[in-house]
Structure 1
């Protein structure tokens, strides 16, 4: 099992939970029907003399196995990796026997040796796939040499030149290897993308819950402000009237102190409130500082720089959405993790677009993975320097994938690059020579909707 850091999401590395028994049963029934149809057609239509007893024996074995499995195990059972491997090995051996008694590689259905390997490569691990692939190639190689030849109508034995036999063997072997590798790679990338998207959804859901919680707290602080002020005022009047009664005066002072304490607690909790309509929007610079807030005191200097074109226009009010904040926070976290000492957050806006550049003075992205930045589970070999800077870093590229996915939901386009020539000596590099992330929005995608001053807040559903 592997756990994605920072989330409760756990993804299994094995494939035992991906193979449904009823799927393999259905595939075997389809194979049985196809085998019966092919044998019947060859015997009745083409007059080919086949050893029908042996053929029906092999097909009958598949029928018996399918019936036993169907009655013993429930259809919704998930096979273990070993169980799935044994099931596919049985199908492979049954197919090998049928092809052996029906002409070997002269039988065009020898192509079906590719099927069990492709299934294994799609849903099982590398070990079972190698076992099935090796067994398939061994059977195909043996059938190219030893088999029961086909006898045509009139007693003629079907023979083909050795060159064609070798060609059939080579085609099937290449097909097994190629389709096995291709199916495994596609299935692995598909599972990785599915796992990463699930982690992204969980990250967004967590951020949304924090936002909703902050809204509830802000609303509570707002609604309780008036009664607390009333309690404080009444307690002050009681203190004046009870100046000659020390015991009752102490109680009045305690009431006032506890009211002040409640006010301070609500004030501290309500600082994160975001459900107030006026707080659903913020200036661009404020949004960036909020996204960077958890990383300001981590020993690296964060420098916020408005661009040269921004002075001509009023700073835009943008939406404070969880996707934007969480995505930018991940980008800034990545820069802070690998920066030597400084991270520059440059932002600018024009009449049509809002642009952002995050640059650090670290080593930059590895040249061998820079073209895959933003893909999930991009792994690269870690050196000792990386381990010392970020010991908990899993090296999966998941943080950048989440940031890219969330920001693209808001209409942003992202670019990843290095701010230096990778072949330039370290002594010749400028200060801003690390990783560079560019984010660009159309202004209409990020701008907040106009909210009139003093507008009523929305009702919070709990």
Structure 2
């Protein structure tokens, strides 16, 4: 039977950070024993032997913190060594405080559990073997504490066992919960990266399809332009028919212009996007070009980018992104739409508002969810718009509009657009 997949391991840097936190807990616990046991239980502890153990653990943790500041790779063997230092410190502490008869001996178990959660199988088994060996040695080799009342000794031993069990359970839960949260966060980041890669692959496929379509559509568009031109010049046709033919001819000219620049627009770099323009002029130009393509849908623009407006060298794909957002709004609300733009918090914010039916139930896409939006019928334009915006460090968000409709908000950091 084939072995199942190995569970994901936390990153070594995060694991070392958690081990350092765990060692601080060990230092606090040892210090608490040294201070509280003689005072509460009237049991004399060999401070001259225990203080060097505590000091050594402090030095080890300080060096580990310095090690954490370096960006060099941390290997599993180093994490194993860190846990061995912890195990050695507790073994020495227990040796001078009764060995296996000390209820604190159970604190070796959380170290084994943490090693199993942090290390690979060989190191985890090695750590478990060392812990068992330490327990076995402390069984026969130790320095007993002087406790004159045997009945009181049994009572405090049972109380110590309870306390040790409670501390061990808390440490194990604390460590495993933190490690599980880190693994969930990493899995989510991997899932988002995988989704982004799949979306980019889809955009590349669409780009290839668009290039092929541009090549294939050139001939039929030319034929339609010739026929529309002949109809516009035919005096035998009515004035309304010739006006429609002229409008058709104008739209065909726009289509040919778009197809002619498709290859240039697809994948063009920001530096190739053209000269620097004021933000308000750039946005107004996008709105004017859209009006020429869809003259029957009223578009109201309110653009206030300050005086003077910041100059931008925008990726040409961003123009298509804003165009697609306006187009989606026009499809949902052909009776009229609005577009607002301004500068807020070092970012260009563009809002497209419509009075359409609103967002589908359960739909709340961001830039990373545009592929889902396309499947829900909002159009592949949203997928392309989100890809272009993400490349510039921006995002797209949707919200319901008071009174009905939808607000699409596109946010772009100015730092990625300025020359």
Q: TM-score range by the shorter chain?
A: 0.3 to 0.5
Taking structure 2 as the reference length, what is the TM-score of the superposition? 0.43
Larger helix proportion of the pair:
2
Q: Between the two structures, name the one with larger relative contact order (CA 8 Å, sep ≥ 6).
A: 1
